[in-house]
Chain A
Amino acid sequence: MKKFRTAALAALFGATALAAPAHADVKIGLLGGVTGPIAAMAPAMIDSANLAIQQVNEAGGILAGEKLVGVVGDSACNPQNGTDAATKAVNIEGVVAIVGPHCSGSVLAAANSVTIPAGITIVTPSGTSPEITSLKDNDTVFRTVSSDDYQGRALARTLLERGTKKVAVAYLNNDYGKGLADAFRAEFEEKGGEIAGFAAHEGEKASYRSNLAELASGGADTLVVLDYGDGSGLTMLRQALENGFFENFVGADGMKSDAPIKELGAENLATFLASAPVGEKSDALEMFSKAFSDVGGDPSAIFVTTSYDAAFMLALAIEKAGGDKAKVAASLREISSGEGEPIRPGEWAKAKELIAAGKAIDYKGAAGDHNFDANGDVPGAYALFKVTDEGFEVVTEMK
């Protein structure tokens, strides 16, 4: 009874208070790999999400002048901790939405066991696995980073356009390699290309000559290596070059590393191409970079733009949904549908007015426009690179 009375009183005060400070905070979860394998990247990512929250609070706060609060949780880049952190955020902290988790494995586990059943919207800034696309998520799982599926398909189309019709594919036997390879194969075969060899390999072996001989027996002269350039990808590239198994080599972002140039020499890599995501220059990116530099952050650090966008978009969606967590997902689509008044990073006051007036807004983020597709994914911008004496150089944009 006493609790009820307190609640009733609070509601009364809340309704009547006009210029009074916020009566309750609106919490969003910031789940990241604070410990674990991406511990070096996570702090900057969380800082940039916090920048978005700070900007919201400085420009009038969220809803009826309430404060937006980020609750940091450690998903440790593994499924177990991802689930624990999401459970704590949803059930104990009572967050309205979540930015993160950071790694694909954590995202899949946290979404399946916690946030989808609870109906909480999550936006991951760095989970790239194609598996996330096919989650049965009732439209609550989004990402501001593009799926490796896009890269695999874009690479397939680009190769076909360049006249490469027959390739062999060697991929590292993990989530990264397999996701990319499957996407590449699907698109390449659909568009009329021929896959003359398709094989996984375990990393860190000394010799891949027999693997390469198997792949080469299909008769292709181009090898697509979906691996890491610091690891077994380098070994494969070296042994393929030395033994003349293939003439042309193509890699994805994992292979766009300095190690092959350093160890094999640029002169031997004239026939090597690698795809990688590229940032699109925009006003939005500049606005973010300036704001993030002002608070002491490094705007060129990896995944900071996607983290910032995820947090800012969730704030906009919460505002649009009137704080109703069940409506956040639908609102997230509305504030970035490609139609309406453009809103760029930091323009919170303007967005708030437009939302209050019932006008459509369209967020143009630091990392891109973020017009989500049916699966909550965003397309990415990629380019194909070649090796020159100075390092990697763009050959062509990839569509």
Chain B
Amino acid sequence: MGALEIVNFYLVPGIVVGSIYALGAVGITLVFAILRYAHLAHGDLATLGAFLALGAVTILGVSPYVALPIAMLLTAVISVGIDKTFYAYLRERPKIVTVMASLGVALMVRSLVQVVWGVDSETYSRGIVRPENWFGIRLRDREIVTVLAMVALVLALQVFLKRSKWGKAMRAMSDNPDLALLSGVDNRKVVTLTWLIVGGLCAAAGVFLGLNYELKAMMGWTMLLPMFAAAILGGVGRIEGAVLGGLIVGIAEEMSTLFLPTEYKAATAFAILLLMLLVRPTGLLKGKVL
């Protein structure tokens, strides 16, 4: 097998799917760092975002790229609503209660998607897109956009966290919520802001997943495990770690078929998660929580 084939059929799909995992993992890591629990509805929020974009595509007749910001905005607002309706009451209770509540939210969001859009596979545009040849490397436009958009979103988030007042407030709350409160940081506003960002990132992950593959009611749920594996691999609470983790999980999944029977591909994320928790639970880049 030539090097070009490895790049085309193993590395490129790995990077694309890894970028999507990364977008999800960044959201998971933010919730972990600031709110301190595992958010199990993350995958299904991504599904919701993807289907909201489908709604925009079908109703407004726009391209999926135009639908992306609309879906991000809607999902961000819905995430805040979910937080206010379901998680806010549980804030003072043990975190495991919120984790279980998020599982319930996941089921509700998925059912809602199934009620509105049905259970069949959908796509943003009919037909197939053959890749273009760039000096032997075969790439589609949407694959390039996916990776670039991921990088842009993560860079913007990093700048926001490092430079802006509210970003600093978020980091302060992540370090020590009580101290942040005493220093005049409004925790409730920070929580709302966190959900806005997380919801937007969720929708982006879902839209890019749907753009590159298909839209299915179960699509987000099946992505949840690799996303968690990516967040833990990179070090919980580290944005750049989540990106690194996402890419590693995505590439490892695709590359695994070179060495393992293909039915074990889905188990690769499990194996990485297990190994990481055993050997280095803080992740590759030392995580701030856990």
Contact = CB atoms under 8 A, between A and B. Distances in A.
Contact of A210 (B20, B140, B258): B258
A205 interface: yes
Given A242-B129, A263-B121, A265-B127, A210 B10 contact: yes
B154 to A, nearest CB: 20
Interface stretch (B31-39, B56-64, B176-184, B215-223): B215-223
Contacts of A212: 9
Interface stretch (A5-13, A182-190, A233-241, A368-376): A233-241
Contacts of A91: none
Q: What bracket does the count of chain A residues touching chain B fall in?
A: 20 to 34
Nearest to A212: B9
B157 to A, nearest CB: 23
Interface residues of B, number: 43
Interface in B115-139: 120-123, 126-131, 138
A209 B143 CA distance: 14
A259 interface: yes
B27 interface: no
A214 interface: yes
Given A205-B266, A206-B223, A207-B254, A243 B218 contact: no
A230 B121 contact: yes
B5 A213 contact: yes
A210 B257 CA distance: 6
Nearest to B222: A204
B128 A202 contact: no
Given A210-B254, A211-B262, A263-B121, A235 B213 contact: yes
B94 interface: no
Contacts of A200: 261-263
Interface in A192-211: 199-202, 204-207, 209-211
B223 A210 contact: no
Contact of A263 (B13, B123, B138, B222): B123
B207 interface: no
Interface in B22-80: none
Contact of A213 (B9, B16, B121): B9
A230 B214 CA distance: 10
A262 interface: yes
A268 interface: yes
A262 B121 CA distance: 9
A217 interface: yes
Nearest to A238: B128
Interface string A213-254: 110010000000000001100110010011110000000000
B209 interface: yes
B278 interface: no
Contact of A234 (B20, B212, B214): B214
B166 to A, nearest CB: 33
A244 B8 CA distance: 12
A54 interface: no
Which of A199, A207, A214 has the most C-beta atoms of chain B within 10 angstroms of its own C-beta?
A207
A58 B258 CA distance: 66
Contacts of B140: 242
Contact of A206 (B5, B12, B213, B257): B213
A200 to B, nearest CB: 4
Which of B127, B223, B257 has its CB near the most chain A CB atoms (within 10 A)?
B257
Nearest to B12: A209
B131 A205 contact: no
Given A204-B218, A242-B131, A262 B263 contact: no
A209 B212 CA distance: 12
Contacts of B131: 242-243
Contacts of A201: 262-263, 265
A259 B266 CA distance: 24
Contact of A262 (B126, B138, B209, B213): B126
Contacts of B239: none
Contact of A204 (B126, B216, B261): B216
Interface string B157-184: 0000000000000000000000000000
Nearest to A205: B266
A275 B122 CA distance: 24
A278 interface: no
A262 B215 CA distance: 13
B47 to A, nearest CB: 12
A199 B121 contact: no
Contacts of A213: 5, 9-10, 257
A242 B254 CA distance: 17
B223 A265 contact: no
Contacts of B126: 262-265
Given A210-B14, A259-B120, A262-B126, 11 more contacts: A200-B262, A202-B265, A204-B222, A205-B222, A206-B213, A207-B14, A207-B16, A211-B257, A213-B257, A263-B123, A268-B127
9 contacts: A199-B263, A210-B257, A210-B258, A211-B257, A211-B262, A230-B121, A238-B128, A243-B8, A264-B128
Rank and list the top 7 A-B pairs by shortest CB-CB distance, nearest first. A213-B9, A202-B266, A200-B263, A210-B257, A209-B13, A210-B254, A199-B262
Interface of A: 173, 199-202, 204-207, 209-214, 217, 230-231, 234-235, 238, 241-244, 259, 262-265, 267-268
